[in-house]
Amino acid sequence: MNKVLYIGPYKAIRLYVWSLINVLPPAVKRSLTKFGSDLATARRKRGLTILAVAERMGVAKNTYLRAEKGDPKVGLGVYAMALFVLGFGDPLGALIDVSRDDTGLLLDEERLPKRVRMKKARVPQS
């Protein structure tokens, strides 16, 4: 999508705005949609209205509705607060825990030197 910003009688500046939705992989779109649906289900199971959850989160009703729809433009903080308000605690803290990052741990092992040598101490010259 592009927008034209009119500057003068013969000048126009085109702003190219790429929508985040257009560049997301399909798997990520599906995950966000499912996550939003799961938020809505959890809210309904607890007998809470959209407005009640939004007020507890400190966001506008429309912002929370967008989160329930899985909108990728909604900030991560909104999703984190929704999880907290619905009683899920702090699941984002352990999401990318370095001790459970198998790929990262393997990469660390590959980077380890084959052998370690002691550096020679510099002798001060008198």
pLDDT in tens, 5-55: 555 555 555 555 556 667 889 999 999 999 999 999 999 999 999 999 999
- Is residue 117 one of the residues assigned to a domain? no
The string of DSSP codes covering 46-77 is TT--HHHHHHHHTS-HHHHHHHHTT-TTS-HH
Partner residues linked to 90 by β-bridges: none
- 114/90 Cα distance (integer angstroms): 39
SS3 5: strand
- Is residue 99 one of the residues assigned to a domain? no
Residue 50's pLDDT is what? Answer: 96
- Is residue 90 one of the residues assigned to a domain? yes
User: Residue 34 maps to which CATH number?
Assistant: 1.10.260.40
Residues 82 and 39: beta-carbon distance below 8 Å: yes
